[in-house]
Amino acid sequence: MAERYAPEVLDHLVRPRNVGEIEANSGVGESGDTACGDVARFTVRIGDGLRLEEVRYRVYGCAACIACGSALAELAEGRDLVSAAAITKDDLLEALGGPLPPGKEHAVTLVLDALHKAFEDGWTRDYDALLADGGYVAPGSGSGKKTVVAAMSGGVDSAVTALLLREAGYNVVACTFRLHDAEPGSRSCCSPDTVLFARDTAHRMGLPHFTLNLKELFGRRVMRDFVGSYAKGSTPNPCVACNAHVKFHAAAYLADRLGYEKVATGHYARVGEGPSLARPEDETKDQTYVLWPMPKELLARTVFPLGEHRKTEVRAIAERNGLAVAYTPESQDICFIPSGNYRDFVGRKVEAAPGEIVAADGTVLGRHAGVANFTVGQRRGLGVSAKTPLYVREVRPETRQVVVGGREDLRTTEILVGATNWFLGVQEAAFVQIRYNGSAVACKVAATEREGVYRVVFEEPVYGVAPGQSAVFYTHDLDRVVGGGRVLRKES
């Protein structure tokens, strides 16, 4: 052992620091697997000013893990939380006298992850405001200081966002959200491997990193809504629901706990006066469609650095700065369904009830296994055939019928939109966009007798409009978002 380990490692093994567990703790974190023999557990007590007054650890495993746990506990204790969240693998190795022997490098990752999970547990214990139906919205510290919490998913966009903010003079804290239980090694933004990668990316940029466990909130406000919408014959957009209820609220929550002013994400969009939401420089990456439900109070404290850059520039910035994410592929899947098979996902959670596939006149054309397998505009997988292509024109969950017809039957000229959120006056709405990658069409919007419900008349037909889809309204120059809402039903 003396030949393999540096003297500092031996010192931590002979005189371990901070061994034990804090009973009245502020957070508990555990990482590792008893199957492979290494488990690290940290408990922390956080005092006034977010200072780590006590840090204790227990490690069950090899000598390297024990020494790493001792060294990390000693490094973290007495620091403020942000400083402790910036401790890197290199910082820990320096405290241990240099690199660990081959095959023992995992010890550093293991103990760092356990400490960060203790921080995560501490945040989670005070989530009542975040879990409220109205979401967490606060005005920020009002200090005027350039401080920001930047959401970091492990991809190139969020990494460059944090980098640009740092270069602009902000004090940046990076944060990754655990939204659901993703499998290790998967491409999901919530997989354990991706969380570790995001943390390592932040640390390599010299940024502190936190994780927030939002599984309960995400499950209630996004996944449950996603499954329920299909069961009710609607077509949901989970990214819209996440932006409306989860991501920005959580970032604001953490910012306020840290005393930070701004929040930021890697969305391609701009924030204007009002505040208002505007399209980005790179219109091919425009994400304003999924941002329409943001409360104005949150939009006012949000920064979108990528709104001024094209995607090619973003990758070039990452490459120029030596970021490992420079060539990561684009993520096109729903984050909690990395396979892309949403019907299989919904089918596992909804009890299927068979029904009829009918024509508009009621003629029965076939049978189906459940309405959750169908959405308006769908052509493939109908299970019936005809001389001309058939499309789903309506889903009727109350009678378990799926109505099909020709393409012209998908033609729509008027809809009702509810659950609206407006950045500008309704009278400024001149165009509407119904799909994320769709084109905006000219329209006229008028209020109805129902509060928050509007009648939208298209100046040219739109095909395949489905209840549950987002309708996002733009100004005459197609640059600014006026507001948005959910399609309630087609009128004609």
Catalytic residues: 242, 335
Three-class HEC string of 288-320: HHHCCCCCHHHHCCEECHHHHCCHHHHHHHHHH
User: Does the annotation list 234 as a binding residue?
Assistant: no
Q: Is 248 annotated as a binding residue?
A: no
Interatomic CA distance for residues 190 and 335, integer angstroms:
8
- Token pair recorded at residue 273: 């006066």
CA-to-CA distance for 240 and 334, rounded, in angstroms? 12
* d(C-alpha 464, C-alpha 27), whole Å: 50
Q: How far is CA 224 from CA 217, 384, 405, 457, in A?
A: 10, 30, 30, 31
Give the burial class of 102: count Cβ atoms within 10 A of its Cβ; 0-12 exposed, 13-18 middle, 19 or more buried: exposed
CA 408, CA 394: separation in Å to the nearest integer? 13
Q: How many residues does the chain have?
A: 492
Give yes or no for a contact between 251 and 243, defined as CB atoms under 8 angstroms apart.
Answer: no
Token look-up 């973003």 returns: 314
Query: Is 151 annotated to bind ligand?
Result: yes
191 is in an annotated binding site: no
CB 249 within 8 A of CB 136: yes
* 266 annotated among ligand-binding-site residues: yes
Q: What angle do CA 335, 212, 95 make, to 5 degrees?
A: 115
Could you tell me which of 299, 302, 266 has the C-alpha nearest to residue 285? 266
Neighbours of 37 (CB within 10 A): 11
154 is in an annotated binding site: yes
Residues tagged in the binding site annotation: 151-158, 177, 266
Residues tagged in the binding site annotation for ATP: 151-158, 177, 266
